[in-house]
């Protein structure tokens, strides 16, 4: 079983890697919608960093878990997130084949994080920890779904 300090340290490292990758990817993409998706994912990862840090600090002080906030509510569906991003993005979507390269690495990051959080949820007995790790796994799954939707749209645009 993974120790909690080790689990939280690994979680922070994974979220930081994801944040940094999405920030860099957003600057590489020519398509404003694709760049906005990357910026939204970077923002999510930054929120997760702060959330994980806050929970871990409470754990270190042996205090109760922080009260649930909007940060720990069920994530919006991938479709709702993509629709929101598309409505708020300026400019028309244009085929951007650089997303295909970015997608694979982003997919691997999200899949690894989702599976890690699922495993942590399975190996812990504390209901609060299980709920926390399942929440994080659900958010990573939403990210995977978002990336997949954008991949499909990108492939369709490149083929037409």
- Reported as a single tens digit per residue, the pLDDT across 23-54 is 999 999 888 888 899 999 999 999 999 999 98
Cβ distance 21 to 38 under 8 Å? no
The confidence band for 66, taking pLDDT boundaries of 50, 70 and 90, is low
Residue 125 has pLDDT above 80, yes or no: yes
All structural domains of the chain with their residue ranges: 4-159
Closest-CA residue to 135 (of 11, 23, 43, 19): 11
d(CA 48, CA 54): 10
Average pLDDT, the chain: 84
Question: Per-residue b/e over 11-41, b at no fewer than 16 CB within 10 Å?
Answer: beebbeebbebbbebbeebebbbbbbbbbbb
Q: 14: helix, coil or strand? A: helix
Flag whether pLDDT at 96 surpasses 70.
no
The model's pTM is: 0.81
Cβ neighbours around 73 below 10 Å, total: 9
Range 4-159: architecture per CATH: Up-down Bundle (1.20)
């Amino acid at each position: 079983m993974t120790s909690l300090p080790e689990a939280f340290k690994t979680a922070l490292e994974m979220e930081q890697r994801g944040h940094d990758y999405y920030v860099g990817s957003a600057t590489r993409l020519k398509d404003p919608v694709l760049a906005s998706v990357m910026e939204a994912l970077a923002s999510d990862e930054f929120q997760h960093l702060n959330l994980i840090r806050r929970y871990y600090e409470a754990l270190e002080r042996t205090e109760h878990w922080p009260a649930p906030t909007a940060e720990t509510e069920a994530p919006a569906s991938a479709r709702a997130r993509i629709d929101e991003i598309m409505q708020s993005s300026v400019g028309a979507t244009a085929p951007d084949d650089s997303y295909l390269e970015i997608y694979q690495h982003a997919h691997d990051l999200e899949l690894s994080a989702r599976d890690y959080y699922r495993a942590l949820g399975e190996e812990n007995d504390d209901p609060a920890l299980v709920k926390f790790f399942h929440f994080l796994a659900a958010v990573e799954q939403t990210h995977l779904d978002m990336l997949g939707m954008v991949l499909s749209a990108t492939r369709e645009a490149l083929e037409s």
